[in-house]
Structure 1
Amino acid sequence: MRILPLVFSALLIASPAFAQDAPSVISVTGQGTIAAMPDMATISLGVATNGSTAREALDANSEAIAAVLSRLTASGIAEKDIQTSGLSLGPVYDYSSANEGRGPKLTGFQASNMVTVKVRALNELGALLDTTVGEGANTINGVFFGLEESDAKADEARLAAMADARRKAELLAEAADVRLGRIVSISEGGVAMPMGGMGAVAFERAAAPVPIAEGEVTVSASVSISWEIDQ
């Protein structure tokens, strides 16, 4: 019956020792964001064609997408920068008679072929979109601007995050009337790369090259840092 009091006594004696072993710290998370002009774009474009049969729709699509791919390479896009991203073939139904107690009516078939293209000469992007539409492309699923070499900007964002974390920690230390000691831990919360762009559109060839506003892209980073409190 005397074992439990002895155990509790031992824990009470040991608790202050454990508390003394754990240093008091100030922990903050810093954020850093760097803006830059984009130097490349990724576009998703393609061709959708209809036919009375699946073969007719697919043959028409193959001919049209071949013309688009030929135009892309003739415009200076390297083959490595063109990749098929979606290919589909399916029936097209008319559902207008469904409310009359009849099932949907098969009206034909639609084939779609999408490609993802990296454009490294942004000054030619508008003209490229216009010429590909002229060759048969009738769907654009997005234009996304980015950075070809993003590592340097990511490092700048990390340094900005470190500086932001120290600023916050010094502010807290001053408010608590203590001093920052050594850093005991640093962890990176992640780096967010640019991913800005426009949504899906479908259009006919314009009378002039499509106007494109590149704007800025941002690279952001976060770090979490803990400092010992120096009394």
Structure 2
Amino acid sequence: MKLIRASLCAVALVATLTPLAAQDLSTGPRRPVLTVSGEGKASAAPDMATLSSGVVSEGKTAREALDANSSAVAQMIAAIKAAGVEGRDVFTSGFSVQPQYAPPKKDSSEAPRITGYQVSNNVTVRVRDLAKLGNLLDELVTKGANQIGGIAFDISEPGKLTDAARAAAVKDARHQAEIIAEASGVRIVRVVSISGEGGPRPMPRMMSAPAMMMKEDSVPVEAGETEVRAGVSITYEIEPR
């Protein structure tokens, strides 16, 4: 009777441990891994541009400077909209009223004296039709704009460009992994993990305002190409050949 009980206990113990043992056998020893980084890029001609334009005015009083500035900015905005830019693509990006001081006399202890005021008003403009950009720049200067910031060219719908850059990054990583594996005498088994190295990075082309304003008639503008870059890190499981 004791022998039967001992046998039953042994069977119960084996039955209890069987799932764990099966799990250990199925997992087996872990294979080594190879981690590589890939980078991809894609480029296309931009279809939009963003620029900053503004007017700086001076006057003996703040009111005088503000009136002169408001009149000039109103003409500038009217010229922007007359060029076909929609109201949603024009917004104020900076406004200030600053007193102007006379330089202190040498060895003088007198407080600085206000000699006038300076008013600055800047707007940011998004141009969705690049064919109008050159004429718009020329018109802005004609209508009184005396400040134009750098121009950034971009793509209005960068989704396809981003997808292409990411796909190129994955292909680059796979290519590097295959070269390393071949040289090391191992074989790639499967992908263990994939992680992106930050988001896609747009590389907009910039053009400085002074160089453009030196041109005569309509301002010549070259948009070139906008480039998007993406990075990826992939870990592959490998085994000997």
TM-score, normalization by structure 1 = 0.85
Query: Do residues 85 (structure 1) and 74 (structure 2) align?
Result: no
Q: For structure 2, which runs of at least 5 residues remain unmatched after alignment?
A: 1-23
Same amino acid, percent of matched pairs:
45
Query: Do residues 208 (structure 1) and 217 (structure 2) align?
Result: yes
Secondary structure of the 1:193 match is: strand
Structure 1 residues 40, 203: CA separation in 2 closer, same or farther (over 3 Å shift)? closer
Spell out, residue by residue over 1:198-223, the C-alpha distance to the aligned partner (whole angstroms, 9 max, x if none): 24549979640111121111111111
Structure 1 residues 77, 176: CA separation in 2 closer, same or farther (over 3 Å shift)? same
Runs of 4+ deviating beyond 2 Å? 20-23, 97-107, 198-207
**Structure 2 equivalent of residue 63 of structure 1:** 71
Structure 1 residues 133, 65: CA separation in 2 closer, same or farther (over 3 Å shift)? same
Query: Do residues 39 (structure 1) and 47 (structure 2) align?
Result: yes
What are the equivalent positions in structure 2 for 1:143-222 lying under 5 Å apart?
A: 143-189=151-197, 190-199=199-208, 201=210, 207-222=216-231
Spell out, residue by residue over 1:19-61, the C-alpha distance to the aligned partner (whole angstroms, 9 max, x if none): x755411101100011211111001111111111111111111
**Structure 1 equivalent of residue 19 of structure 2:** none
Query: Do residues 135 (structure 1) and 143 (structure 2) align?
Result: yes
Structure 1 residues 201, 21: CA separation in 2 closer, same or farther (over 3 Å shift)? farther
Secondary structure of the 1:224 match is: strand
**Structure 1 equivalent of residue 108 of structure 2:** 101
The amino acid that maps onto 1:210 is V
Query: Do residues 226 (structure 1) and 238 (structure 2) align?
Result: no
CA RMSD of aligned residues (A): 2.1
Structure 1 residues 169, 106: CA separation in 2 closer, same or farther (over 3 Å shift)? same
Spell out, residue by residue over 1:133-176, the C-alpha distance to the aligned partner (whole angstroms, 9 max, x if none): 11111101110000011010000000100110001111111111
Quick check: 1:144–1:195 contact (8 Å CA) kept in 2?
yes
TM-score, normalization by structure 2 = 0.82
Quick check: 1:51–1:110 contact (8 Å CA) kept in 2?
yes
**Residue 104 of structure 1: how far off its partner (Å):** 4.1
Structure exhibiting the larger radius of gyration computed from Cα positions? 2
